[in-house]
Structure 1
Amino acid sequence: MSDDALVKEKTTPDLQWYEDVIEIRGCHLSLPQIKAAYRELSALNRKEGEPLVNALIKPDDLSDEEWSTRVAFLKADAFRLTVSVMGFDGETAYGETESIFDSKDLPFPIRTVFFTNTTAFRRHASDKEPRNRFSIWMSFDKPPLFDPSAVLSEPTANNSRIEIHADNVAFFRAIQTIVTRKILAKKKWDSFIHAKFAYDVGLWFVAFPYALYWVTIYCDYFLPSASPHSSFRVAFYIYGLVLSLAAYRALFGYLKWAFPVNVLEENEDSATRHRLLLGGIVTSLVVSGVKSVFTFIF
């Protein structure tokens, strides 16, 4: 039997393709949750492969028993989901069953979990991809603590996504449903800080007014209009605002580092004390600002 039989092209003139890329962002995940998604996707993939294998024609040089063994082997081996679990130090654990998620040899903390239905298929199809295929990347990377080169208006960089390419709409919709129910279900409350323009919204509606208020207060305190040094008020405003907005940029980067895009429970992130520190900083800024405003008004 030729390996190309698994990928024999269809001749339907009105063949339609379905493609989608779904970003996986702002998710709180666990290995049991990922394992459950893997199990459902694996069952769906095996079901999708059965008619393809059943449609193969038995070669003349194989007996019925040999052919039955070959068919069973193809169903079991060509339609697996292969998994790679990668750590931050470059170590990788590889598997083709859901038991990998229970392994004690996983490289903790885990940086990326990747699985796909293409790898197992290609080894039986002359390195060609299946017509109905998908790949999932779940990344638990943190952005740099301080990255002056970053364009903070853009969403925080993270490669977590699922790519689907299919000519079977039922398969296509089933993949979308499983991913939505199993992987995208548990969202983090703080995911908005990684969205596009989150930095700009915080800058123009929170940081800049807050900085302008305090610079004005201190400028009037240190350099009142009647002061002989009042000519320095403009310089005080400029440097005060520049330093305040630089501090906001650093604080925002620190915030994104402490609250990463995606979280894996089993990684036991050590940034808890940083989150408490950030909470204390934000609380003190809010309290001091509100107290000052009320004192000024009343």
Structure 2
Amino acid sequence: MSEEALVKEKSNPDFQWYEDNVEIRGCDLSLPRIKAAYRELSALNRKEGERIVSATSKPDDMPDEEWEKKTAFWRDDAFRLTVSINGFDGETAYGETESIFDSKNLPAPIKSIYFTNLTAFSRNANGNEPPNHFSLTISFEKPPLFDPNPTVSEPTANNSKLVSHCQDVSYFRAIQTIVANKINSKKKWYSFIHAKFAYDVGLWFVAFPYALYWITIYCDHWLPSTGAHASFRVAFYIYGLGLSLFSYRALFGYLKWAFPVNILEENKDNATKHRILLGGIITSLIVGGIKSVVVNLF
């Protein structure tokens, strides 16, 4: 019998699908949490497999015993969630059960984790897709330390997402709920720095006013308007703002590198000392600014 029997014919011209693309950003994760999500998604997929196999008709010329073996094989093999755990050095661990998350041979540190119900079904259905399918990608990559990308207003690049394409709305909602509760529920407080326009907000409401204040203070101190070098004040402002913009961009890139989009506890990120350094830099800038305002304006 052809494996295409697993694929249901879509004879209804008003056939409806539900699609979604949910971003996974700002999450503080661990392998046990991801394993728990895998377990629940796997149980949901097995239940869906039971429904599909039960609805598949037995060919008239196939003995009952052979049909039972065939359907038992489909239940076991066609409705698994395949998992790929990738390391930064190119190493990949592959599995089709939740035990993969307990393996001692996982890449370290882990770059990304991907699992889907497409692979197992397709190999049993001549490459066809199941009526309800999804894939989940979680990436722990960091942005470059100094990002030359001109589109600084865009969110920090990260391909972590849940992609679902379903016929059954209850299956569709169940996937969303599991991912929301197990993956997307524990957020880091600093996730806003990776959002769209975070760079611009920081520039116009924090960095630019701060830089203008200090440039004005030093300009009046070094180049007073009644002094012999007053004609250099415009050049000082232009150069000062340019240098300030470069410094802000470098500091913002360093901040996003030290506090990445998603964090995996087992990776034991060594950026702690960089976070402490950044904390010291930002604190000194704030304290210095407050002291200067108090002295010069009040």
The TM-score normalised by the length of structure 1 is 0.98
Q: Distance in 2 between matches of 1:9 and 1:57?
A: 12
| Cα distance per residue 1:151-198 (max 9 Å; x no partner) | 110000000001000110110010011011111010010000000000
Count of residues in Structure 1 that have an aligned counterpart in Structure 2: 298
Partner of 1:258: 258
CA distance in 1 between counterparts of 2:125 and 2:91 reads 29
Which residue does 2:19 correspond to in 1? 19
Q: Measure how far apart 1:297 and its partner are.
A: 2.2
Distance in 1, Cα, partners of 2:269 & 2:110: 11
Give the whole-Å Cα distance in 1 for the aligned partners of 2:287 and 2:159. 38
The percent identity for this pair of structures is: 72
Is 213-222 or 67-76 further displaced after alignment?
A: 67-76
Structure 2: stretches of 5+ with no match in the other structure: none
State the match for 1:204 in structure 2.
Answer: 204
Paired residue for 1:33? 33
Amino acid corresponding to residue 4 of structure 1 in structure 2: E
Secondary structure, aligned partner of 2:11? coil
Which whole-Å deviations, capped at 9, do the CAs of 1:29-75 have from their partners, x for residues lacking one? 11000000000000000101112111223335543223222211110
* Partner of residue 114, structure 1: 114
Match of 1:193 in 2: 193
Q: What one-letter code is carried by the residue in structure 1 that aligns with 2:233?
A: R
SS in 2 for 1:8: coil
Q: 2:295 is matched with which residue?
A: 295
Counting only pairs closer than 5 Å after superposition, residues 227-238 of structure 1 correspond to structure 2 as 227-238=227-238
Q: Does 1:226 align with 2:226?
A: yes
The one-letter amino acid of 1:206's match is V
Matches of 1:226 and 1:58, distance apart in 2 = 98
The residue aligned with 1:271 is 271
* CA distances 1:203-235 after superposition (whole Å, capped 9, x unpaired): 000000000000000011111112111111111
Runs of 4+ displaced beyond 4 Å: none
Determine whether 1:162 maps to 2:172.
Answer: no
Aligned letter for 1:74?
Answer: W
Q: SS of 1:20's equivalent?
A: strand
Aligned residue for 1:19, secondary structure, equals strand
Deviates more, 1:108-117 or 1:56-65: 56-65
Counterpart of 2:77 in structure 1: which amino acid?
Answer: D
Give the secondary-structure state (helix, strand or coil) at the position aligned to 2:252. Answer: helix
